[in-house]
Amino acid sequence: MPFFRPHRKVAPGGPRLGATPRTITRHALDSALACGASALPNEFGGVLRADPPGVISELLLLPGTTAGHRHANFRLFMLPADLTVVGTVHSHPSGALHPSAADLQLFRNWGSRHLILGAPFDPGCWRAYDGNGRETHLDVVGAPGDVPARLRPYRPRGRRALPSSPRLPEDEP
């Protein structure tokens, strides 16, 4: 009996589905910074997809995510059962780039890479953190505008229960 294995479109030796991303596309980063700027004076929040694995390439705006002056309310139960979703992104209108206590709680709860963006949302106004809230590095790939727009609202086809949907009161001044 021949033994068939499903063919996987993964580069040999490359990152696999669920791998911790090391890279973000310039387009995804610029889109997130633009969202942060347009949400002012409120916070903006979303989640990050890595597709292909290892490369954060898409920003998802979850339905029902509300943003306030001092908080972004993530409704993570709206997330798909999707291993390409790797973490969160949100903005700090104060310009602070360090995580608040509530942010650390969110980071530890779920996801391997999290971005914090700060006003005035210039190209360098961001930091990446791991699931323990430690600052980490992401390579930015691609020139501005050379990747097709992939910013779109996420429309759920099925729901998956996640541990919580924490509210994020900001404790920055």
Please identify every residue annotated as catalytic.
Answer: 43
Q: Are strands 152-153 and 55-61 parallel, antiparallel or unpaired?
A: parallel
Cβ–Cβ under 8 Å, residues 165 and 110: no
CB atoms < 10 A from the CB of 55, how many? 23
Peptide bond preceding 63 in cis form (omega within 30 of 0)? no
Considering only the stretches 34-42, 81-89, 101-109, 136-144, report the one whose residues sit in contact with Zn ion under the rule CB under 5 A.
101-109
**How many residues belong to the site for Zn ion (CB under 5 A)?**
2
First to last CA, the chain: 68
Q: Is residue 103 close enough to count as binding Zn ion by CB under 5 A?
A: yes
Select from 23, 31, 65, 100 the one that contacts Zn ion (CB under 5 A): 100
Q: Is residue 30 close enough to count as binding Zn ion by CB under 5 A?
A: no
Q: Is residue 65 close enough to count as binding Zn ion by CB under 5 A?
A: no
Q: Is residue 58 close enough to count as binding Zn ion by CB under 5 A?
A: no
Binding residues (CB under 5 A) for Zn ion: these are: 100, 103
